[in-house]
Amino acid sequence: MVTKFLRAGTGDAILIQHLKHNIIIDGGNDSKYLLSEVDTIFENEEIIDLLVITHHDDDHIKGIIDLLKHVEKNRYHIENKPFIKRVIFNSPRLVLGKITLNDSKELSYQQAYEVEELLIKLNPKWEMYIDESDDISFEDLTIEFLSPTKGDLNKYSTQKGAYLTGDWKRDWDSPMSKLEPFIQDKSQDNSIPNRSSIVLKISCENKKVLLTGDVTPDRFDVIASKLFSENGNKPVPFDVIKLPHHGSYRSLSKSILEKLECSDFIISTNSKKHFLPNKRALLKVIKYINRPNKEPIKFIFNYEDAIINLGITKQEKKDYNFDTILNNEKYGVSI
């Protein structure tokens, strides 16, 4: 299994490839590298086996619009089969069973409607998925859907919505030692659209990856608690965790992190919106996560700009036992 966290602007675009199967999760708001990967998939006479849209925020869905238009324009198909075989997108139309723009002028709702229209044209198998839905498997790769709940989807589909836009408190210029005493969980994201974000657990070849979308910390804590219980009340090990909402400290809590074990964390953003990632998010992970053999934590970035903006010093890396790792491929991060 190869997992690619593509350079996709301020958002997420993830491509998982395994034994000629291709799974795309979100499209970011810059589709350059995503469309390049899609072209290569077609040139290799393969298809997109599964397309997952975690939620309809602009920096997750704009690149999906570009992808669908690209596929339609180029008339991609393989041996008369749909180039995109299956889509998971919990859109308002699918949840409510009717066409709706939610009386909203929010860009993301307009984009969700546009994706719906394009999916109707391309006609893949299009489904709604929740935490109680069956796993999806490709050979020995298993995708488990940990969120959202049906109740949260119903709430999201009937309200106008407002997305987390960051806390607007830039902490890039503050030393970690001065920020550390003020790490707390009082200011947390609780938006319904983000709470409805799809969260995935990917298992393959004895590796486990947690993809969190933009999930809110209250919902993330419920997920972590369930996993913790299923693991015999022991911290749940993951090889890689993508930090929710591009490294926002309002999307993490002490309670969540104490239930997980991991040393490698992906931060996906070009750092051009909302002062993300927050340095305080890194501090939360450092302080509360369980790490194998107390090894150094690695924060892995798909854009160098995010590392530069954080302004972390060599001494801070040494004092707090962590490192910042830049993308290892032109298109982003490959693990």
114: left (phi over 0), alpha (psi -120 to 50) or beta: alpha
Task: Return the pLDDT at 163.
Answer: 41
Average pLDDT over residues 221-241: 98
Residue 329 has pLDDT above 50, yes or no: yes
Distance CA 153, CA 145 (A): 14
Give the predicted TM-score (pTM) of the model. Answer: 0.93
Grouping H, G, I as helix, E, B as strand and the rest as coil, residue 64 is: helix
Looking up tokens 């339609």, which residue turns up? 72
Residue 166 has pLDDT above 80, yes or no: no
Which architecture characterizes domain 2-334 according to CATH? 4-Layer Sandwich (3.60)
The set of residues, in sequence order, having a beta carbon less than 8 Å from that of 203 and lying 6+ positions away, is 141, 142, 144, 209
Q: In the chain, where are the structural domains located?
A: 2-334
Q: What is the pLDDT of residues 36-74, one digit of tens each?
A: 999 999 999 999 999 999 988 888 999 999 999 999 999
